[in-house]
Structure 1
Amino acid sequence: MKTNASILIVDDDRDVLETARMFLKQEFSQVDIEEDPKLLPKLMTGSNYDLILLDMNFKKGVNDGEEGFYWLDRIMEMDKDAIVILITAYGEVDLAVKAMKKGATDFVLKPWKNQKLLGTILSALELGKSRKKVARLKETSQVLSKDNNQGYEDFIGQSPAIKRVKELINKVAKTDADVLILGENGTGKELVARAIHGRSLRKEEVFISVDLGAITETLFESELFGHSKGAFTDAKQDKTGRFELSSGGTIFLDEIGNLSTPLQAKLLTVLQSKTVRRVGSNQEIPVDFRLVCATNMPLYDMVYEQRFRQDLLYRINTVEIRLPSLKERIDDIPILVEHFLKVYRKKYFKPQLTISESTSEKLKKYHWPGNIRELQHAVERAVILSDQDQVDTIELFINATSGQRVMTGSASRTLDEMERDFILESLELNGGNVTKTAQTLGLTRTALYRRMNKHGI
């Protein structure tokens, strides 16, 4: 069976090229040859070679190795991790040793023995894999350090709705099935994704989170699939995409409903082939990942309206997990409040702070449009503003300055009407500033815009 590797041989001797190609094509998936070293930049731009065999001299009668040094430098400038094996005559061994100090991996003497050549190439390829693994680990570490690591805990709650979610997580986690998480903003979709990963067979590998709503169309391919050095103006070096970084682990694609139709098609290609092609490269790179997606958008309605590809939806929703809104799990509010209270008592050095039972009951009557995220912000605000050891007023959680009200239980207004009213009041109190309004309501700007459109605001 052939080794999956692409090799380029550069030598001015046609006989050497043809002989090497005939032998190496039996062992490797791709073998290209070239007599003119001036075409090296073009060849390297068009293909991402795993290994280059480079002659030291290209002019008859010249054996000082200067041309070899020149082209070695050019190769290393284009790809600092390139694996280069020099082809040299017996009397030029000292030049080859000097070249190895400048970045060459190894050298072979001509005329060579085929098995010796093969052994040298295979050893160099293994070295290249090791280098790539180290580089990938370094990039993965950088990505993870930028990730919003906010101390994701186990899913909290005892309501029937949450118990069903927990049961589903436990069932699906041990498989490699693709999972689609549906739910409103602030319900904990990323928390579920991390819980699935943490209980999976891939838990010792990386978890890569990608907010598709925050990636522009122009950067989509570069961010997710990576790019080669020189692929575009700002591509100063090779970049590993998120799919490559997640190989072996889990990739979480949040806000997948925000993708345009052209980007949906590109994503579908990767999901079906389990390979990526970096921008500026023709090489297909195999990737092995567990896919978890999430959205707060109505994907099935979007399929009907032809705004979301049906084949992509069927590809990502092997298992669906729908997260309930906070108003669907009211009995969990005291448990969640106590959890967040524990966190913020420690953060703000108020270890004695408690919440009165009457206040806790009143919190259950509010409809929490921002869900758990809004509740978390409300508890933090109450801890900060409290001057006593017990919070016994609802106003520290939900106050008029944010345009929010507690439900009175009156049937005179529907939830939609109440939501519309307090959005209007909040906008007025924030001078019409949508960003500030979204922050006070515990929503993203996108989520607030959707609610405004829903109510005709």
Structure 2
Amino acid sequence: MARKPNILLVDDDEHLRIAAGKVLKSEGYRVASAASGREALESLQEPGVALLISDLRLPDIDGIALLKQALELRPEIEVVMITGHGSIEQAVEAMRLGAYDFIQKPLDATALVKTVAKALEKQRLASENEQLRQQLQQRSGAEAHIGNGPAMRAVQELIRQVAATDVHVLIQGESGTGKEIVANALHELSDRRGKPFVKLSCAAIPETLLESELFGHERGAFTGANATKPGKLELADGGTVLLDEIAEMTPPLQAKLLRVLQDGVFQRVGGTRDIHSNFRLLCATHSDLARAIEEKSFRHDLYYRIHTVQIAIPPLRERREDIPLLAAHFLERFSARMRKEVRSLAPSAREQLLAHDWPGNVRELQHVVERAVALTDGDMVECVAFAPAPGGKTAVTASANGSSISIPLGTSLDEATKQLVEATIAQCGGNKLKAAQVLGIPPRTMYRHFSHPAELGHAATMAAP
């Protein structure tokens, strides 16, 4: 059985220390105690304490001062404050300064155990997120996006095996799975990494211009050709070419590409001079090329030419074990970009990510995490929102304590959260602290949604015995 973390309990009331210590020890925690702030700081000099539980009022220094010094000494520690009647404002200030939560006297054993478990779970998630960040830093920029589950480890191994060769590679997978990321990795791990990596989307360029983009053109070759322009194949000499969505290329242009791959030479549009270019070809598509061959929209001889090695990327719903690593990467990226301190996902948010079907795959995950970071005020993402299906009017059901409300897809995260919180407060008879417990969120999260001073005072009055 895993060893449970150490807890330091600080209060000048000996009876409270004994009673709370017995409750926590019965849950398997190792508990040390201190009767003053100075004793607590001495204990914190030694490593091992994961959670500090301290009264706001101590005989030598107040709990706020202890909180500040404890977090300076041990930034990774979690802190829960014990408050007496009339000290709610101080408790809220403590949470603003970094405390996880507060519990009120007289202590309730169930509330104490629940708060401790959640504080330590937050610490565990933060530690796990840091480990994920370290994993990302140890990997190359391209590989960081790929994943770390069994399926993607097999993809990574195949990438390493073929990267150093010059064989043509066909990368297949649903939209948003990361085909371009795999292509980036193939180029970065090859001997051609110091040479150009030229990308061309066959779906994004009109058919009439695709030939010119690929092979280049001479001046006067067609209306608007006012100057000679080299094509992508010519620019990629010595490097790598990625033809994305190659199934969108027309059969006549496929025939010209096939000739280049067979003979190693081509001519610009309107030109007569043979041009040689030493490039490696990577192709990507989300289409079923076997069906395209049957329908005669894709040449079978070109298929066999570009299909020397095939790398198939499984959709995200078939490799859910990669979601935490990918989410951590996007969380770190968007937090830095938005200058925020969002560091981890709450268990509820992680469960949402793991349960989603991800029709948009990694690209959808990226957008979901970006939206979550933009809408998060604290250091942890509490929940995430998914974009509605095109034209969809489906409602999702949010529930708390046995009751439920329906929220239409497309509702903003702020509005959906507001509806759920308000419904839960109503169910709890207006007691916001009780509603926070029902929702499984810290009271500070509740105060973030209802932060007017008058409402804080009303919540404190309702919560008072």
Q: Into which bin does the TM-score normalised by the smaller protein fall?
A: 0.5 to 0.7
Are residues 329 and 284 of structure 1, via their aligned partners in 2, closer, same or farther at CA, if it must alter by over 3 Å? same
| 1: CA distance, partners of 2:225 / 2:347 | 58
| 1: CA distance, partners of 2:199 / 2:162 | 19
Matches within 5 A, 1:11-410: 152=142, 154-393=144-383, 396-398=384-386
Give, in angstroms, the shift of residue 186 of structure 1. Answer: 0.3
Task: Give CA-to-partner distance per residue, 1:400-430, whole Å, 9 cap, x none.
Answer: 698588899xxxxxxxxxxxxxxxx98x99x
Are residues 352 and 255 of structure 1, via their aligned partners in 2, closer, same or farther at CA, if it must alter by over 3 Å? closer
| 2: CA distance, partners of 1:188 / 1:407 | 31
Tell me, which stretches of 5 or more residues in structure 1 are unaligned?
A: 1-150, 409-424, 430-457
Give, in angstroms, the shift of residue 311 of structure 1. Answer: 0.1
| 2: CA distance, partners of 1:398 / 1:289 | 41
Give, in angstroms, the shift of residue 274 of structure 1. Answer: 1.3
Give, in angstroms, the shift of residue 235 of structure 1. Answer: 1.2
Are residues 215 and 400 of structure 1, via their aligned partners in 2, closer, same or farther at CA, if it must alter by over 3 Å? closer
Are residues 201 and 269 of structure 1, via their aligned partners in 2, closer, same or farther at CA, if it must alter by over 3 Å? same
Letter in 1 for 2:362: I
Give, in angstroms, the shift of residue 399 of structure 1. Answer: 5.9
Task: Give CA-to-partner distance per residue, 1:99-145, whole Å, 9 cap, x none.
Answer: xxxxxxxxxxxxxxxxxxxxxxxxxxxxxxxxxxxxxxxxxxxxxxx
Are residues 266 and 158 of structure 1, via their aligned partners in 2, closer, same or farther at CA, if it must alter by over 3 Å? same
| 2: CA distance, partners of 1:399 / 1:180 | 31
Are residues 205 and 401 of structure 1, via their aligned partners in 2, closer, same or farther at CA, if it must alter by over 3 Å? closer
| 1: CA distance, partners of 2:196 / 2:362 | 26
Q: Is the 8 A contact 1:399 1:405 kept in 2?
A: no
| 1: CA distance, partners of 2:395 / 2:279 | 45
Give, in angstroms, the shift of residue 340 of structure 1. Answer: 0.4
| 2: CA distance, partners of 1:399 / 1:257 | 28
Give, in angstroms, the shift of residue 198 of structure 1. Answer: 0.7
Give, in angstroms, the shift of residue 352 of structure 1. Answer: 4.2
Give, in angstroms, the shift of residue 344 of structure 1. Answer: 0.7
Give, in angstroms, the shift of residue 374 of structure 1. Answer: 0.2
SS of match in other structure, 2:311: strand
| 1: CA distance, partners of 2:273 / 2:144 | 40
SS of match in other structure, 2:203: helix
Task: Give CA-to-partner distance per residue, 1:43-93, whole Å, 9 cap, x none.
Answer: xxxxxxxxxxxxxxxxxxxxxxxxxxxxxxxxxxxxxxxxxxxxxxxxxxx
Letter in 2 for 1:203: R
Give, in angstroms, the shift of residue 156 of structure 1. Answer: 3.5
Percent identical residues: 48
Give, in angstroms, the shift of residue 233 of structure 1. Answer: 2.1
| 2: CA distance, partners of 1:291 / 1:166 | 19
| 2: CA distance, partners of 1:307 / 1:295 | 14
- The residue that corresponds to 1:87 in the other structure is none
Q: Is the 8 A contact 2:254 2:299 kept in 1?
A: yes
- The residue that corresponds to 2:23 in the other structure is none
- The residue that corresponds to 2:404 in the other structure is none
Letter in 1 for 2:374: I
Are residues 201 and 191 of structure 1, via their aligned partners in 2, closer, same or farther at CA, if it must alter by over 3 Å? same
Per the normalisation by structure 2, the TM-score is: 0.53
Give, in angstroms, the shift of residue 266 of structure 1. Answer: 1.7
Are residues 405 and 330 of structure 1, via their aligned partners in 2, closer, same or farther at CA, if it must alter by over 3 Å? farther
User: What is the count of residue pairs matched by the alignment?
Assistant: 261
Q: Is the 8 A contact 2:146 2:181 kept in 1?
A: no
Tell me, which stretches of 5 or more residues in structure 2 are unaligned?
A: 1-140, 399-407, 412-465
Runs of 4+ in structure 1 deviating by more than 4 angstroms, as ranges, are 399-408
- The residue that corresponds to 1:146 in the other structure is none
- The residue that corresponds to 1:88 in the other structure is none
Give, in angstroms, the shift of residue 397 of structure 1. Answer: 2.8
| 2: CA distance, partners of 1:306 / 1:360 | 45
Q: Is the 8 A contact 2:342 2:381 kept in 1?
A: no
Q: CA RMSD in A?
A: 2.5
Are residues 175 and 407 of structure 1, via their aligned partners in 2, closer, same or farther at CA, if it must alter by over 3 Å? farther
Per the normalisation by structure 1, the TM-score is: 0.54
Give, in angstroms, the shift of residue 354 of structure 1. Answer: 2.5
Q: Is the 8 A contact 1:366 1:405 kept in 2?
A: no
| 2: CA distance, partners of 1:189 / 1:312 | 20
| 1: CA distance, partners of 2:232 / 2:242 | 10
Q: Is the 8 A contact 1:255 1:296 kept in 2?
A: yes
Letter in 2 for 1:333: I
Task: Give CA-to-partner distance per residue, 1:153-187, whole Å, 9 cap, x none.
Answer: 53442211101100000000010000000000000
Task: Give CA-to-partner distance per residue, 1:351-379, whole Å, 9 cap, x none.
Answer: 24421123212210100000000000000
| 1: CA distance, partners of 2:277 / 2:223 | 27
| 2: CA distance, partners of 1:401 / 1:312 | 36
Q: Is the 8 A contact 1:177 1:319 kept in 2?
A: yes
